[in-house]
Amino acid sequence: MPILEVDDLSVSFMQYTRGFKQTRLQVLQGVQLSVGRGEIVAVIGSSGSGKSLLAHAVLGILPSNAAMSGTIRYDGDVLTAQRQEQLRGREIALVPQSVNFLDPLMKVGAQVRSSVRTGDPLVEQRKSFERFRLPPDAENRYPHQLSGGMARRVLVSTATISGASLLIADEPTPGLDPAVVQETLSTLRELADQGAAVLLISHDLESALRVADRVAVLYAGTTVEIAAAEDFADSGQRLRHPYAKALWRALPQNEFLPIPGSQPQPGELPDGCLFAPRCALATSECGRERPPMRVLREGKTRCFHAT
| CB of 27 or CB of 220, closer to ligand ATP | 27
| CB of 50 or CB of 277, closer to ligand ATP | 50
Q: Residue 26 CB, nearest distance to ligand ATP (Å)?
A: 10
The contact pattern for ligand ATP, residues 22-61, with x = CB under 6 A and - = no contact, is ---x-x-----------------x-xxxxxxx--------
Q: Residue 98 CB, nearest distance to ligand ATP (Å)?
A: 9
| CB of 27 or CB of 282, closer to ligand ATP | 27
Cα 226 from Cα 215, distance rounded (Å): 6
Does residue 152 belong to the site contacting ligand ATP (CB under 6 A)? Answer: no
Cα 229 from Cα 136, distance rounded (Å): 37
Cα 60 from Cα 160, distance rounded (Å): 20
Q: Residue 53 CB, nearest distance to ligand ATP (Å)?
A: 4
Q: Residue 243 CB, nearest distance to ligand ATP (Å)?
A: 14
| CB of 45 or CB of 109, closer to ligand ATP | 45
The contact pattern for ligand ATP, residues 54-93, with x = CB under 6 A and - = no contact, is ---------x-x----------------------------
Inter-CA distances, 241 with 33, 185, 205, 220, Å? 16, 27, 15, 12
Does residue 19 belong to the site contacting ligand ATP (CB under 6 A)? Answer: no
Contact call for residues 190 and 162 (beta carbons, < 8 A): no
Bridge partner residues of 282 (DSSP): none
| CB of 97 or CB of 128, closer to ligand ATP | 97
| CB of 61 or CB of 233, closer to ligand ATP | 61
13, 36, 83, 121: which one contacts ligand ATP (CB under 6 A)?
Answer: 13
Using CB under 6 A, count the residues that bind ligand ATP.
15
Footprint on this chain of ligand ATP (rule: CB under 6 A): 13, 25, 27, 45, 47-53, 63, 65, 97, 203
